[in-house]
Structure 1
Amino acid sequence: MTTSVVSIVYVNDAPAAARFYGDLLGMSPSFETPGYITFDLGPGADLALWSGQFEDLSPDVPRTSEVCLAIDGGPDEVNVIFKQWQSKGVTILREPHDAGFGLTFLAADPDGNRMRVAPQD
């Protein structure tokens, strides 16, 4: 059996969210419909942006999950990405800090969904 993991992020506007994530990830969507857009993150992993599932998602609603971008390159690369995202005006929820597994930071997309950048295990 072949399996794939699709992480679904609920958003208000899938095309707008796809532009935001595409800019941060430096990639184009692999599949697009008006309300459901995916990014191929590599073998067996996709990020999906899905709108129309909830009315008026608010950034003020507490989030209990996050999308984690696990990167190679160690602390220097985490700091480079942090500075890039900061210069793009991405909302930073927590600046780079050591979380026991390495240097990490936490950001939010325009809908308030959490995005973490951390070192790859």
Structure 2
Amino acid sequence: MATIIHSTFLPHDDAEAAKGFYRDVLGFEIRQEVGYGDMYWITVGPPGQAEVNIVLHPPGADPGITDDERRTITEMMAKGTYASIMLASDDVDATFAQLESKGVEILQEPTDQDWGKRDCAVRDPAGNTIRIQQQ
């Protein structure tokens, strides 16, 4: 029996900005867009990896979240401390240069880490940290 990662979830607070970043900057495919009332989910993923999905969701979509929790989530997103994801690239330096040329918010330039990988970090339009490490 094989267990794989199929989907992971990141919050977004602006659907057009999220689509622009993940499609036009990272080069991901838009796989699905679902609206429900005033909420909007977008599923994206890397071309050629149909089994790997990132679901960009409204931060307060869970009906069990209180108004206070929604405010906390919104504050944490604004600070960039709510969510993150680790991606990989076969050339992290070239990927970083491409992201930088497109005006992406830079958190960390490519760096050789003590734990053995070279990586960089940027922020998506919702404030999520996107770390990209050398494959």
TM bracket (short chain): 0.7 to 0.9
The secondary structure found in structure 1 opposite 2:28 is coil
- Structure 2 unpaired stretches of 5+: 61-69
* Conserved 8 A contact 1:7-1:47: yes
Q: Percent identity?
A: 31
- The alignment of Structure 1 onto Structure 2 pairs a total of residues equal to 116
Structure 2 counterpart SS, 1:26: coil
Q: Does 1:102 align with 2:109?
A: no
2:13/2:126 contact within 8 Å kept: yes
Output the amino acid matched with 2:43.
Answer: T
Q: Deviations over 1:12-37 (max 9, x none)?
A: 02232012111122133011124101
CA RMSD of aligned residues (A): 2.4
Q: TM-score, normalised by structure 2?
A: 0.72
Q: Aligned runs of 1:28-67 on 2, under 5 Å?
A: 28-34=29-35, 35-41=40-46, 42-51=49-58, 53=60, 54=70, 57-58=74-75, 59-63=77-81, 65-67=83-85
Query: Which structure is larger by alpha-carbon Rg, 1 or 2?
Result: 2
Instruction: Give yes or no for contact 2:80–2:129 (8 Å, CA) kept in 1.
Output: no
- In the other structure, the counterpart of 2:92 is 78
For the residues of structure 1 that align with 2:74 and 2:58, how far apart are their CA atoms? 9
Which consecutive residues of structure 1, in runs of 5 or more, have no partner in the other structure? Answer: none
What CA deviation, in whole Å up to 9, does each residue of 1:90-118 have, x standing for no partner?
00111110112321001101221000110
| Aligned residue type for 2:41 | Y
